[in-house]
Structure 1
Amino acid sequence: MLRLALTGAGGFLGWHVRVLLRALCWPEPVALTRADLADPARVAAKVSGVDRVLHLAGVNRADDPSEVAAGNVRLAVALAAGLRAAPVPPAGVVYANSVQAGNGSPYGDGKAAAAAILADAGYDFHDVRLPNLYGEHGRPFYNSVVATFCRVLADGGRPEVLEDRELRLVHATDAAARLVGAPGGGSWDADMPAWRTSVRELAEVLTGYAALYRTGQLPALTDRHRLRLFNTYRSHCFPSHFPIPLPRHADRRGELVEAVKVHAGGGQTFCSTSYPGQTRGEHFHLTKVERFTVVRGSAEISLRRFGGDEVVRFRVSGREPVAVDMPTMWVHKIVNTGSDELMTLFWANEIFDPATPDTYPEPVEVVPHLAAVPA
């Protein structure tokens, strides 16, 4: 269990690092903001005594290409100055570098120069070169083509492939595991297994996911990258696409509701009852796809994105069954709001394994220290 300090804690990769740290039950990391980096004394005070500093902040794009290189260098210089002034120096520094470092582009040259500056700061230095990252809540038209395609499809459009090329994609949680030195045995892999695909194939896979998911159907989640890619797409659909109306069929005998349609793969379905006022949940998942459908009684389903303070609420009833899918890395719960027993049908894409449950306790209602970290 390490005590960490992060630059870029409010960014895409920084958010995934913070989620993983909570799943690991490690201490809340110290966040170094851009304002902190402007003052070496503030940096020194914040990093003093931590086990490791993770430098995730960077400049990916700018109107002036030269500013991309200069911005990455400035951040490294500021961090190095603060590190040297720390009363109790951190044990090590980990840099979220890029496989593009030193490739002759402003971005690649800036990342390479930043690595050299941090390496010269005199600490145990780890230069982690990351490929293209994807994952939940990436910023469209900025973080990756995956986020862009997901956003376009979630908005009802079609992704446009202007230039096909090979892609090597790594999920942000796996990158976070490498950066923090997470132990094995969880829903992450610090070896950062990559999905080798192309821009065109990526567009085709995501387009297929979107077509099925608009109807509430679930695609074939045949491997870890297909599952994570689907979870990434789902993050762009929530909460505006929910709840999902379910097909209902009635005849003289009664009604039939199609709760789950999965195109391949197994999973687990279970049914629970809850007495009035009782709560189930108060946890989040890193990879698991989970669907709630109330079939009798009334309930409120509440969700909060990790690190945020806004709670999304759905009032649902067995009189009109709907599906609400839990997005990964969102804390969730269901409460019986009626006066009678609540019956809920749950479906998950995997059979529950007590050894690796992918279930991390966390309250839905806002806790002050979980407020979003500024960039």
Structure 2
Amino acid sequence: MKILVTGSKGFIGKNLIAELRNRGYKNILECHRDTDYTLLEEYCEKADFVFHLAGVNRPQNEEEFDEGNLGFTSTLINILEKYENDCPVIFTSSTQAMLDNAYGSSKRAAEDLIFTHAKYSNSKALIYRLPNVFGKWCKPNYNSAIATFCYNVARNLPIMVNNPSTNMNLVYIDDVIEELIHGLGDNQNISGSFCEVPTSHTTTLGEIVELIKSFKKSREERSIPNMNDALSKKLYSTYLSYLPEDQFSYDLKMNVDQRGSFTEFIKTVDRGQVSINVSKPGITKGNHWHHTKNEKFLVVSGHGVVRFRKIDSEEVIEYFVSGEKMEVVDVPTGYTHNIENLGETDMVTVMWANELFNPEKPDTYYLEV
């Protein structure tokens, strides 16, 4: 199958082509603003399917809306009809097509052209009136407030919010691409005369800004946003894609002494925290117990022993651990415990606790094993 993609270098086009290739599609005909007209003719003659994603949404003057949206759509349809190519066409329009502005009018006129072509050529036309689309590879300071916010916040640049209470209907780029590929397979989600992305998110502009700001702060606090919230998860992935290339990494606070080190790695809202413990040879750490706090130990380098004793018993239980055989040791409540490095090199242990450390209520009581 030969698939023609107009707007191939745009936000949606780049994401679509990447995923089409992931799924094994090889004959992708890429059309962008620099594509020669004769090559476009060749593509339209050969195409078995058209994704019409090209368009103008932030021109220097309003006349460019008609030229870039209606004009190019007319050119595309005329070439398809010239070669009597009645292949299916998917067109990404905008919810603004319902509004009386220059951009919306140009999109609505382009929709009408595609519907008319489908009627007279007895072909299939699938038109998606997309709301605000966000995700990786969108150009900041152009047509997406979210891309601009992510880019600016990551660089400590100011952002402008005129009305935080403005409602926004959003769709995530991966959900858009999934739906477009469903359309390629004739499994599109139809609502009336148009198609739509079934998964969308409604929030306010102010809430989006606060979330994005919290993502920057989370790196400083070693925390992770609530991944159980779909919008937060998608926005966080989007934010990370706009990090400056020299700021992918960030430092952690290492608590170092003669025994080794202890470093908090990740803190979560409802899944506790992960830390990295380094023990020098011969060093024993721990010798405490908890009422409710529980932990998991995973030695990833070196070897040692984890010892347990129920606080009202004299029996000591030992678990020998090594980075050569990955196994998780649960630390139950009510057992005093310690971990000793039995090797000649540093022992590195990944430690998970079910709750964040609270210095005012540490739930940690010293008691020798």
| TM-score using structure 2 length | 0.65
Matched, 1:239 2:237: no
2:157 maps to 1:151: no
Equivalent residue, structure 1, for 2:100: 104
Matched ranges for 1:9-28 at <5 A: 9-27=8-26
User: Aligned to 2:224, what secondary structure does the other structure show?
Assistant: coil
Structure 2 counterpart of 1:4: 3
SS in 2 for 1:120: helix
Aligned-pair distance for 1:28? Answer: 5.0
* Distance across 2 between alignment mates of 1:268 and 1:69: 55
Percentage identity across paired residues of the two chains: 26
Residue type at the aligned position of 1:69: D
Unaligned runs of 5+ in 1: 185-189, 271-294, 297-342, 348-375
Structure 2: state its 5+ residue gaps.
Answer: 187-195, 277-299, 302-347, 353-369
Could you tell me which amino acid in structure 2 is paired with residue 159 of structure 1? I
Kindly provide the amino acid, as one letter, of the partner of residue 15 in structure 1.
K
In the superposition, relative to structure 1, how do residues 91 and 71 fare at CA in structure 2: closer, same or farther (>3 Å)? closer
Structure-2 change in CA distance of 1:91 and 1:226 (3 Å):
same
CA RMSD of aligned residues (A): 3.1
**Secondary structure in structure 1 of the residue aligned to 2:268:** coil
TM-superposed deviation, 1:176: 1.7
Task: Tell me whether 1:113 sits opposite 2:109 in the alignment.
Answer: yes
Q: Deviations over 1:46-104 (max 9, x none)?
A: 133433101101000122123223321111111112212337x2520110011111411
Q: 1:303 maps to which residue?
A: none
- Point out the structure with max Rg over C-alpha: 2
Q: Secondary structure at the match of 1:119?
A: helix
CA pair 156-344 structure 1, distance change in 2 beyond 3 A: farther
Secondary structure of 1:45's aligned partner: helix
**Relative contact order higher in (CA < 8 Å, ≥ 6 apart):** 1
Seen in structure 2, the aligned counterparts of structure 1 residues 266 and 69 have a Cα distance that, compared at 3 Å, is farther
When residues 51 and 214 of structure 1 are mapped into structure 2, their CA distance, relative to the original with a 3 A threshold, is farther
TM-score, normalised with respect to structure 1: 0.64
What does 1:326-345 correspond to in 2, within 5 Å?
A: none
| Contact kept? 1:60, 1:107, Cα under 8 Å | yes
TM-fit CA distance, 1:181: 1.7
Question: Aligned residue for 1:179?
Answer: 180
Partner Cα distance (1:174, 1:252) in 2: 51
Deviations along 1:162-214, one digit per CA (max 9) or x if unpaired, are 12311000001211222222679xxxxx8431110011111111111111124
The question of whether the paired residues in 2 share the 8 Å contact of 1:68 and 1:106 is answered with yes
Q: CA deviation at 1:12?
A: 0.6
Quote the Cα distance in structure 2 between the aligned partners of 1:34 and 1:47. Answer: 15
Distance in structure 2 (CA, Å) of the matches to 1:344 and 1:155: 34
* Count of residues paired in the alignment: 268
